[in-house]
Amino acid sequence: MGKNRVTILGLGNILLKDEGFGVHFVRWLDSRWQFPVGVELVEGGVMAYALLGPICDCENLIVIDALKVNDEPGSIYRLTLEELKPKLPPPTSAHEVQFLDVLFQADLLGEAPEVIFLGIVPLDMGEMDMEMTPLMKEKFPLMENVLLQELSRYNITPVRKNA
């Protein structure tokens, strides 16, 4: 069995409000779309090196995560790995550093996929709370459109569930 063509990976800590956007979004997406064989959705959370397998097992990786940059909360970015690196602030959580380490490890193994980051500027990552802010939930359809456009670059068209 070959590699998956595309893995959609949702990152973030669901215990810290908007920090968990990627995981919450992937769950929501999975409830709405049926993806063809060769496309895998992964709730990566903050699993770090446990993600090495899914990362090495795909040709193209689309990472969805909160992106802590100085911009309007809810702003969405599409970045390549090269574009992302200079935008990264000093890490505020362990998964930020560890995820890039995992990509580096995949590269060392000669198994690194092409990587695209779809990041959203969080509103609140303060106290522990598993509930995201309403603003982030409202951005799900916008992020969905950006992701569907990204998938169309690979000629992948998911089928709407309950259509």
Task: Give mean pLDDT, residues 60-67.
Answer: 95
Over residues 130-141, the pLDDT tens digits come to 899 999 999 999
pLDDT above 70: residue 89: no
CA separation for the pair 58, 81 (Å, rounded) = 16
Classify residue 127 as exposed, middle or buried by CB count within 10 Å of its CB (0-12, 13-18, 19+). Answer: exposed
Over residues 75-88, the pLDDT tens digits come to 999 999 888 777 66
| Cβ atoms of 108 and 55 closer than 8 Å | no
Classify residue 113 as exposed, middle or buried by CB count within 10 Å of its CB (0-12, 13-18, 19+). Answer: buried
Q: How confident is the model at residue 93 (pLDDT cuts 50, 70, 90)?
A: low
Can you tell me which residue has the tokens 């690194």? Answer: 112
Contact residues for 2 (Cβ-Cβ < 8 A; gap 6+): none
End-to-end, the C-alpha distance of the chain in Å comes to 31
Nearest to 136 by CA among 151, 149, 122: 122
What is the domain partition of the chain in residue ranges? 4-155
| Cβ atoms of 115 and 63 closer than 8 Å | yes
CA separation for the pair 140, 6 (Å, rounded) = 20
Looking at the chain, which runs of residues are DSSP E strands? 4-11, 33-34, 39-45, 58-66, 76-80, 114-120, 159-160
Its pTM stands at 0.91
pLDDT, position 60: 97
SS3 content of the chain, % helix, strand, coil (to 5): 40, 25, 35
The CATH architecture of the domain made up of 4-155 is: 3-Layer(aba) Sandwich (3.40)
